[in-house]
Structure 1
């Protein structure tokens, strides 16, 4: 296995300015977004109340991923996160393909997120032309990322805190509604789990059909590894963030969805997709919360900006890492005096503009393709993380570490099989039918580009 070729001259080092609490919030914030607040209705429409089991399965695999990542990045807290680790343990080719594939997927997500943010702002100002908030939010988020990593960490901390506070309030209101009732409403109990066609109204096989949708909501936890290169104390901060993620993900996703399908008939939850139809709005409205839709629109807006903020951070670090390894122009490997890879951020800004334009002008043709590419590359990233962990464990099996994935290599293999199954399952999910059409050709193109770049490097003797 080839060791990574890196460059660490002056002006190329990232600054270690992220605190433990900021890393923890970045990690949990990356996994909580509109997939929970709005997209959960799609998963419920497929599996009914039994979708809870799908969330349990996906959460378990996500936690396996978090621990596998934490174990590796504690030993290798370097720029590029999981991409650099893949290159270290699987070779240059997989590292190149994974990082550029992930970069493309996240840039695509950024484009969709900035358009979504504009649409959510128009909830209050319908007359506002969409391009104004799209450009405005783009400039703001690029400015945050172009500043010091400390400013990014602070912004993401508070973005994530809003989401966390909303879910905690939701869970508290939901539990009171279930066990004690609210003014004008008696206690609902747990009859809603089985009272509308049964716990699995569409059959238990529907649980597996819902897994691609549910897993989509968990994507983003891999961003944990990218923060290691800018953590003040990665050996302490990364394990702590991973452990906190274990508790919070289990609580937020599983308990929140249990409350949703218990209080609101699953047929009504299945209609979710807009702010007014969000299952969270339905529960808050039942609790008598004034202007529930307005409050939730603010939360969803911050969730989208949080995701956009994190994705810009990740894409800039990915291209910076590739530049350091000689697989992108060296110009992008230079950082500003405050430690921000501003030149790499330019690449993300270009991609953001293209993705945003595609989502505005060709949503029926280009954008489904881009979404398919994003999901395929994210699942491919997870798969390669698990493969890298197997190689990592073979080399460091008996060495001490502040955090280790329990049950490895068996738990690692379980994660690999899960990702492979979900990827295959996307072929049977209407919303993700473009996954294979987009992902496979792009991987082939990246592989050919790698062979070309590698040949050029070998010929030049670099």
Structure 2
């Protein structure tokens, strides 16, 4: 197959995902518990100026979405950006990107299912953690093992819960800031400049917050992995990518703006747990009964939705590797429903290992795994942008027509985005929370790259 030729249909996989399902799958993978509970870290670094950080992060994610859409319209293949990297950057790049991304997603799945178990203990504190972790793992495996149409519909409504919650939160927050709530006067915008000013940490604090903010937008790339199972990838994938990033930017930007406008940023920065979440504080002020319990349910569904989507994309990535001979060929088999069952089970094995580490060594091994996940995701973004540059050069050299969807301002936009991601990657080493990402990520990346020749020889013999 020539590099300019696209795969019309992937044998075995079923094109059963609708445009609305693809859009919500992308939202589900990108919005986890970070906005509801984890945004305090970014606020502690930048103060109210974290609003700027989320706006910049949204622009970066939008560039990534356009770059992905430009390539996946032409190549709607299993493996998404990994298969495209293989095609335009070479087999080594495709191998490293896909295995790195697979490991990053499996680690994320383990952290999300463990977090979900902890949220259940909000109601039943004496419940052993392994009980909800095991139960949620089984349920999400069954959902992913069903037909892709069922998975898409399940994820659509599951992700809708957190989308509706964010919309309601933003609407209530704007009312609270401007006109006030019953029995509570309007807060105004004073909190944005009090307590040390708009940017108490200066430019340095704002830049350090970009590491956390960029992490919040990770998952944007997942939309490319739905192309091989989309009913109309040429229409649905670009539309879903654009809408998803616009909604993400709007949700994060408005959500964080409401948080720092209502809650003094030193308080938001140290908020720990569901009961102290700014969401709970606002819903309580609005007179919502049992706000903490309702919010805990929403955060629980957010974790499970992200887990389900990441399980889906990790299975498709393993399937893609097997198709190219870089993983056992059994992973390329699909069942009668068109589901890569063996690839799913392999991803579930990694889920189990990560969840066990999370329970047994939360202060040691699990932190190391999360560092690898973050490092792997940023490396994936770098290779996506590099693939887009090579994609454009190749099509121009072969006299092929440009993609119907194009990243505005490219290649300059692409180079700037790559430089920005690289700068964030280097900055990880200067943050206490994410320094392990570089310490663990670089050796891991070298290990994957060094294993390529042996895997390549085995694939050629087979």
| TM-score range relative to shorter protein | over 0.9
TM-score when normalising by structure 1: 0.96
Pair 9,253 (structure 1): closer, same or farther in 2 beyond 3 Å:
closer
* Superposition misfits of 4+ residues, deviation over 3 angstroms: 1-10
- 1:294 pairs with 2:293: yes
> Structure 2 CA distance, aligned partners of 1:309 and 1:204?
37
User: 1:131 maps to what in 2?
Assistant: 130
SS in 2 for 1:306: helix
SS in 1 for 2:270: coil
- Is contact 1:41–1:279 with CA below 8 Å preserved after alignment? no
Pair 369,246 (structure 1): closer, same or farther in 2 beyond 3 Å:
closer
> Structure 1 CA distance, aligned partners of 2:348 and 2:246?
35
User: 1:35 maps to what in 2?
Assistant: 34
User: 2:308 maps to what in 1?
Assistant: 309
> Structure 2 CA distance, aligned partners of 1:141 and 1:264?
36
The alpha-carbon deviation at position 288 of structure 1 amounts to: 2.3
- Is contact 2:29–2:307 with CA below 8 Å preserved after alignment? no
> Structure 1 CA distance, aligned partners of 2:132 and 2:353?
16
- Is contact 1:29–1:307 with CA below 8 Å preserved after alignment? yes
Pair 360,184 (structure 1): closer, same or farther in 2 beyond 3 Å:
same
> Structure 2 CA distance, aligned partners of 1:342 and 1:378?
24
Mapping for residues 309-328 of structure 1, pairs under 5 Å: 309-328=308-327
- Is contact 1:264–1:283 with CA below 8 Å preserved after alignment? no
The alpha-carbon deviation at position 402 of structure 1 amounts to: 3.5
> Structure 1 CA distance, aligned partners of 2:286 and 2:3?
57
- Is contact 2:7–2:76 with CA below 8 Å preserved after alignment? no
- Is contact 1:178–1:263 with CA below 8 Å preserved after alignment? yes
> Structure 1 CA distance, aligned partners of 2:392 and 2:228?
21
- Is contact 1:319–1:332 with CA below 8 Å preserved after alignment? yes
> Structure 2 CA distance, aligned partners of 1:8 and 1:163?
34
The alpha-carbon deviation at position 188 of structure 1 amounts to: 1.3
User: 1:276 maps to what in 2?
Assistant: 275
The alpha-carbon deviation at position 401 of structure 1 amounts to: 3.4
- 1:224 pairs with 2:223: yes
> Structure 2 CA distance, aligned partners of 1:231 and 1:456?
32
SS in 1 for 2:276: coil
- 1:82 pairs with 2:81: yes
User: 2:380 maps to what in 1?
Assistant: 381
The alpha-carbon deviation at position 289 of structure 1 amounts to: 1.8
User: 2:340 maps to what in 1?
Assistant: 341
Pair 8,361 (structure 1): closer, same or farther in 2 beyond 3 Å:
farther
> Structure 2 CA distance, aligned partners of 1:259 and 1:445?
44
User: 1:447 maps to what in 2?
Assistant: 449
User: 1:174 maps to what in 2?
Assistant: 173
User: 2:437 maps to what in 1?
Assistant: 435
- Is contact 1:239–1:402 with CA below 8 Å preserved after alignment? no
> Structure 2 CA distance, aligned partners of 1:91 and 1:53?
37
- 1:456 pairs with 2:455: no
User: 1:404 maps to what in 2?
Assistant: 406
- Is contact 2:6–2:74 with CA below 8 Å preserved after alignment? no
SS in 1 for 2:163: helix
Mapping for residues 105-116 of structure 1, pairs under 5 Å: 105-116=104-115
The alpha-carbon deviation at position 6 of structure 1 amounts to: 12
- Is contact 1:4–1:87 with CA below 8 Å preserved after alignment? no
The alpha-carbon deviation at position 410 of structure 1 amounts to: 1.1
Structure 2: gaps of 5 or more residues: none
User: 1:185 maps to what in 2?
Assistant: 184
> Structure 1 CA distance, aligned partners of 2:385 and 2:158?
29
The alpha-carbon deviation at position 318 of structure 1 amounts to: 0.5
Which range is displaced more, 339-348 or 243-252? 243-252
Pair 6,224 (structure 1): closer, same or farther in 2 beyond 3 Å:
closer
The alpha-carbon deviation at position 4 of structure 1 amounts to: 11
TM-score when normalising by structure 2: 0.96
Give the superposed CA RMSD: 2.0
- Is contact 2:155–2:309 with CA below 8 Å preserved after alignment? yes
> Structure 1 CA distance, aligned partners of 2:447 and 2:389?
27
Aligned residues: 459
The alpha-carbon deviation at position 204 of structure 1 amounts to: 2.3
The alpha-carbon deviation at position 243 of structure 1 amounts to: 2.2
- Is contact 2:5–2:75 with CA below 8 Å preserved after alignment? no
User: 1:60 maps to what in 2?
Assistant: 59
The alpha-carbon deviation at position 13 of structure 1 amounts to: 2.0
- Is contact 1:45–1:270 with CA below 8 Å preserved after alignment? yes
- 1:351 pairs with 2:353: no
The alpha-carbon deviation at position 237 of structure 1 amounts to: 0.4
> Structure 2 CA distance, aligned partners of 1:410 and 1:303?
36
> Structure 2 CA distance, aligned partners of 1:408 and 1:264?
40
Which range is displaced more, 390-399 or 28-37? 390-399
The alpha-carbon deviation at position 272 of structure 1 amounts to: 2.4
User: 1:361 maps to what in 2?
Assistant: 360
User: 2:150 maps to what in 1?
Assistant: 151
The alpha-carbon deviation at position 455 of structure 1 amounts to: 2.7
Mapping for residues 183-222 of structure 1, pairs under 5 Å: 183-222=182-221
SS in 1 for 2:100: helix
Structure 1: gaps of 5 or more residues: none
Pair 173,391 (structure 1): closer, same or farther in 2 beyond 3 Å:
same
The alpha-carbon deviation at position 138 of structure 1 amounts to: 0.4
SS in 2 for 1:430: coil
